[in-house]
Structure 1
Amino acid sequence: MPSFARVGEPERPGALSRRGALGAALALGLLGGAASAADDPLPVTEIAPGIFVFQGAHEEATAANLGGIANLGFIIGGAAVAVIDTGGSAAEGRRLLAAVRRQTALPVRWAIDTHFHPDHALGNAAFAGPDTTIVGHANLPRGLDARAGTYLDGLNQALGNAAAGTTIVEPMLLVRDRLSLDLGGRALELKAWPPAHTDADLTVLDSATGTFFAGDLVFLQRVPAIDGSLRGWLDAIAGLRREAGIARVVPGHGPPSAPWPGALDDEERYLRLILDETRAALAAGRSLDQAVATVARSERGRWLLFDDYNDRNVATAYTELEWE
């Protein structure tokens, strides 16, 4: 792997400052990253030496799953731990921290958000404290700010009392290009991507094992969700195929430790079909509603949660492509 210079800097968080989030964390006894004895550790699997992954459910967020619908992980180095995605609620974040503590007493020095979606970043409150730096793409604070009310209202409706303590905690260290983190004899290489799944996608590569945390740039089994740029995502897939040193991938959703680069094939087929069929609908003068009713329907039996997301994906693609 190339030697990456650290390109990231602590910046002022957005309009939703960390002060309120940290106050809430203090009230809950979370500051400093201490898991309560009552927190049941998330079940994790060691997919490579020192790398543990929790596989999220292919569901929408509920009180039963605590918003635990995304894959989360942590990597143990010689001196510190890095968490990759913190979960869909403060409660799930505490369970993730409890899983870390079951494996090691080393400090959690970094909590890395692969993007701003709630199932990946709303567990940040469980890690907020002076000893843990939350890391994200340079666009991540803006994305959280714009969606904060919607995310928290939706979580409160879905989880009820189980959403208690969940607040917006933004990253302090922002990555604009590449950033190298040292866990103590173990280097992690972070890369910020142009708009694709979102406009704040960040990936993490463990150089020691070739394990690649792709966030939601890679979906398996559960249908991909477009919240950035369809064309940009296809460009990112081409770029991902060129990345060196990857042996296995942890997708944002789906079985962890998937083979590389074959894990990209299904979502690339789906996204390219949306591109081609949406362009054809536009060329034929079809309306948005007509496109939504027809585009990518041949994929319906291939993906979980297809009916929940395909219409929105097509609408997003139509809006992006109509001015080509």
Structure 2
Amino acid sequence: MKTRLFMASTVAAALAAGVLFSGCTGGDIEKTGLVKLSKHCYAYIASGPTTAEGHGVNSGFVVGDDGVLVVDSRFTPALSRQLLKAIRSVTDRPIEFLVDTSYLPDHTWGNATFKKAGAKIIARRETAESIARYSPVYKEYYKQFNSDAYELIKDVDIVLPDSFLDDEMKLDLGGVTVVLRYPGPACTAGDCIVSVPRERVVYAGEILSNGYHPNLGDSGADYDNWVEVLGELSKSGAKRFVPGRGHVCGKKTITANVNYIRTLVEACKESIAAGKPIDDAKHTILMPEYADYLQSNLLPFNIQAVYRKSALGIVRPPFRFELPEGYMLYDGAGGTKAGMLEWGIDDASGYRELKVEWRPTLIKEVIVQDVRDAVARLNNGSEPYDFRVNGSGKITVAGSKAPKLMGRWVYKRAANLQGGGRWVWTIFLGNGRIYSVRALTDARMDREKEKRNIEELERAIAGFKPLPEK
């Protein structure tokens, strides 16, 4: 079952205590903790990628004569207080602004600390909406599946931005001007870049990573625009970039990020066109040139994300049908001639999954034994399901009667997973192709929900319309 993937990264070290000043003019500043970048600009660099260290996410702040602007509030209450302590080791001026560069918890769950300190919290509206929507989901995930992490975040008070960025905003802190800019969706739908142009410093948020796998998995990501934004940063005249993760860096790291995104996206697109599903791609797209990057668990996550964003446009399915709102594309491979697409949803009604496979054929008729053979191949194959047949019948698809089987499924013992429910499977012909459509649901043993879910899936199948050959 391809359920939503929630990522909690691992590994760590302690943050350095004192203020480190770098007079370097190029390359990385390989320091963690508090790093002075210029007269007014500071970075606060995480020393490792563990949950305790905030998944490696960096923060920063700019000190003016009148007040302070903070960039990202960190992951836990303890980490946000640590950042506030570092700021107070530099200045006692009032904290006027906090900028959330994205909605991700490791950037925003410390907002309460700075709200209490008097800061106005600035972000894109997309960021505020996503904080409100996804923070409860993330907290519940940690509670259920990562008790150690939950201990660190259980007291998080979710605080939303109260001021919103359109395209650009300039803030005068007294003797230094900070520019906030929305570059369009890149890593997330609501990314914000913070820069101090006169001091040639940029706080890039998740748009830039240094020595870490970038996170390509957000639903709001736009890979093409992301690459364009990185190109703009490279031409911006800035000398020091505070990445979302990793050491303070120069332009070479921007080039490395562009190459990573382009390489992975192209590899995934080639894999889709070659007919490889996501699980195969995770074992064949290895990206060895990035083997030393931290948070390597993000690579299969990134492959999955690129597949889900790219598959429909590459496969170009030779059919149309409508699924209810909320279904997501989970997998896809091949092309118009022969291919596969899979959709799913997991909500209060339970999990539902619908998989369509097609290929050219010369046969003129499909019988119920063809469906039985398909079920047998699944049960003897590598998929984790064990399908048990308990009935047969007909379903009307594109104006014709097609054979179907139905029954119950459980996970194979080797899968070491729990779950089960009902399924339905049909095979039919259309415009020189044979189509296999398999649907299943897991409603946590709620038989009434199972029934409704199968009815919903069968309605979608009944609306299936093969397209004519072009």
TM-score range, shorter chain: 0.7 to 0.9
1:253 deviates by: 0.8
Aligned to 1:106: 93
Aligned to 2:178: 188
Q: 1:4-59 CA deviation, whole Å, 9 max, x = no partner? A: xxxxxxxxxxxxxxxxxxxxxxxxxxxxxxxxxxxx99941212112221111332
Structure 1 residue identity aligned to 2:305? T
Mapped contact 1:41–1:97 kept (Cα < 8 A): no
1:298 deviates by: 2.5
Residue 309 in structure 1 maps to residue 298 in structure 2: yes
- Structure 1, gaps ≥5 residues long: 1-39
Structure 1 residue identity aligned to 2:270? A
Distance in 1 (CA, whole Å) between partners of 2:117 and 2:46 is 28
Counting aligned pairs with the same residue, the percent is 24
Quick one: structure 1 residues 132 and 172, their matched pair in 2 at CA, closer, same or farther if it must change by over 3 Å? same
Distance in 1 (CA, whole Å) between partners of 2:265 and 2:82 is 39
1:300 deviates by: 4.5
Distance in 2 (CA, whole Å) between partners of 1:124 and 1:155 is 19
Alignment of 1:110-149 (within 5 A): 110-129=97-116, 131-149=118-136
Q: 1:172 aligns with which of 151, 162, 171?
A: 162
- Rg larger in structure: 2
Q: Which has the higher helix share?
A: 1
Distance in 2 (CA, whole Å) between partners of 1:217 and 1:319 is 20
Residue 318 in structure 1 maps to residue 307 in structure 2: yes
Aligned residue for 1:249, secondary structure, equals: strand
Distance in 1 (CA, whole Å) between partners of 2:61 and 2:88 is 11
Aligned residue for 1:313, secondary structure, equals: helix
User: Scaled by the length of structure 1, what TM-score is found?
Assistant: 0.80
State the structure with bigger RCO (CA 8 A, min sep 6), 1 or 2: 1
Aligned to 1:232: 225
Mapped contact 2:73–2:80 kept (Cα < 8 A): yes
1:154 deviates by: 4.7
Mapped contact 2:70–2:97 kept (Cα < 8 A): yes
Q: 1:290 aligns with which of 267, 277, 280?
A: 280
Structure 1 residue identity aligned to 2:124? H
Q: Which has the higher strand share?
A: 2
Aligned to 2:238: 246
Mapped contact 2:264–2:303 kept (Cα < 8 A): yes
Structure 1 residue identity aligned to 2:97? W
Aligned residue for 2:198, secondary structure, equals: coil
Structure 2 residue identity aligned to 1:90? P
Alignment of 1:144-159 (within 5 A): 144-154=131-141, 157-159=147-149
Quick one: structure 1 residues 318 and 206, their matched pair in 2 at CA, closer, same or farther if it must change by over 3 Å? same
Alignment of 1:235-274 (within 5 A): 235-242=228-235, 244-256=236-248, 258-259=249-250, 261-274=251-264
Q: 1:247-280 CA deviation, whole Å, 9 max, x = no partner? A: 2111111112x12x22211111111111111111
- Structure 2, gaps ≥5 residues long: 1-16, 20-32, 314-470
Decide which moves more: 164-173 or 185-194. Answer: 164-173
Residue 281 in structure 1 maps to residue 271 in structure 2: yes
Aligned to 1:96: 83
RMSD: 2.1
Residue 215 in structure 1 maps to residue 208 in structure 2: no
Quick one: structure 1 residues 97 and 278, their matched pair in 2 at CA, closer, same or farther if it must change by over 3 Å? same
Distance in 1 (CA, whole Å) between partners of 2:263 and 2:197 is 34
Aligned residue for 2:159, secondary structure, equals: coil
1:150 deviates by: 2.6
